[in-house]
Amino acid sequence: MPHKPSLAAWLFAAVLGFAPPAAALDACKCEDFSELQISLAQALLLKSRFSQKAAEIAAAHGENPTGSALAGARRAFDDFVKGTGEGTAGHGLRPAPAGSPERVEYVNRGTVEQERWLKDFNRTGRSSDSVGIRAGMRYNEVGELVVDQAYRDKVSNEWKKAGKNLCEPADPKGFTDSLSAGARCAGIAKALIEHERVHQQTCEKMGFWAFGDRSPHQILQDEVRAYSRQAEVLAGEIQRVMGLKRTRVIEKPKGACPECYLEAKVECLRSYHVNGAKGGIVFRQGLVCNVYKPFSLKSVGMSKVDFAMTPKGEAPAGSYSYSGTTTGAKFSGSGLYSIAVGENDAKITLYSEGVADTPKARVQDKGAGTFTMTPLEKNCDE
């Protein structure tokens, strides 16, 4: 059984595999398989790290701390999400470049309205309700900061009557566009969007105000749920790509769990034009759609010779037979062939044992012939 790479190993590979924003976001293809697995590995690793930190903070400060315990929990949370050393969320990961989807965060409409209120308050010095939404906190008669629940209820009812959602992203289209901008393909973008949608769903379930008042433990747990959803979407996309015509599965996942899809291995099949010569006969076949399925080679010019290729086994190789005529001679025979697939092209070599029947004699056809296989820009099954 092949060695299963660690999640950390996948993420170090991600440093080299970062893709710039695509001009057009297409459906994920076989060529995106490695990038999908790298994205899945990162989601699983961050899920694990956030889960572990949530447990640590709950054990040290409680799940819903107050006072000094809350201050300690917030410090531990900030160190975890903002730091880069061992034990932090981003340890070993390259900082996300500006403009990348990793920099995009869920910011709901209510929070943006609060920022507008604070900006207006700082500018005018007046506590106005006409611009934005204030935080709904006030000081009581002994100087303690308490929730102004009456104000919060008033604002919630006003927005509800207006048919607006405080938990919705302030710019829904811009939000999803930003998450898609740096993704390699549509499946990765969908996973990022689903991650952030989990946060919106949590906000809508708890309510805008409770969502803003969450403890560090609750925030971390919500990230665990979001990364779980992101991993599920990526695993589903990997499964879809494995079922494409051009994807040849070399190793299947050992189960249905998201992390199981890190074990999968595939080969991306390509279609080719074939041309070359053997025994003075020039061959050209329009398309070889799949080197693992039967195909044929046909001669051009004065020759009328057809080769029938039959793959056998796991490698792109097999046996063939041929027959036809050229300049009055009849040809027939059989042999073996093999295909060497390179990064930019492929070569097919024929090893034959055949007979050429001419008007004067029978000529033995022995030896090898090599044909060039040039990849098509678009596969013939696309």
Q: What is the DSSP string of 311-330?
A: E-SSSSEEEEEEEEEETTEE
The residues near 172 (Cβ < 8 Å, ≥ 6 apart) are none
Rounded to an integer, what distance in angstroms lies between the CA atom of residue 109 and that of residue 165? Answer: 7
**Phi, psi (rounded to 5 degrees) for 108:** -85, 170
Alpha carbon distances (Å) from 253 to 2, 42, 66, 116, 244: 12, 18, 46, 50, 16
Sign of torsion over alpha carbons 79, 82, 86, 90: positive
CA angle 102, 104, 105 (to 5 degrees): 115
Domain ranges of the chain: 7-107+167-261, 109-162, 270-375
Rounded to an integer, what distance in angstroms lies between the CA atom of residue 72 and that of residue 57? Answer: 9
Sign of torsion over alpha carbons 77, 83, 86, 88: positive
Is the overall model pTM greater than 0.85, yes or no? no
The residues near 161 (Cβ < 8 Å, ≥ 6 apart) are none
pLDDT (tens digit per residue) in 245-263: 889 999 999 999 999 999 9
Q: Which two tokens stand for residue 244?
A: 């494409």
The residues near 234 (Cβ < 8 Å, ≥ 6 apart) are 36, 39, 40, 43, 187, 188, 191, 258, 261
Ranges of the chain with pLDDT below 70: 1-24, 98-99, 128-131, 277-286, 302, 356-359, 361, 365, 381-382
Amino acid letter, residue 204: E
CATH of 270-375, one of 3.40.50, 1.10.10, 2.40.128, 2.10.25: 2.40.128
**Would you tell me how many other CB atoms lie within 10 Å of the CB of residue 223?**
22
Question: In the prediction, which pLDDT does 142 show?
Answer: 78
Half-sphere exposure of 24 (CA within 13 A, CB side): 2
**Phi, psi (rounded to 5 degrees) for 335:** 175, -165
Alpha carbon 371 to its chain centroid, in Å, reads 36
User: Are 370 and 279 a contacting pair, CB within 8 Å?
Assistant: no
Q: Counting beta carbons within 10 angstroms of the beta carbon of residue 33, is it exposed (0 to 12), middle (13 to 18) or buried (19 or more)?
A: buried
Question: In the prediction, which pLDDT does 3 show?
Answer: 37
Nearest to 308 by CA among 326, 283, 330: 283
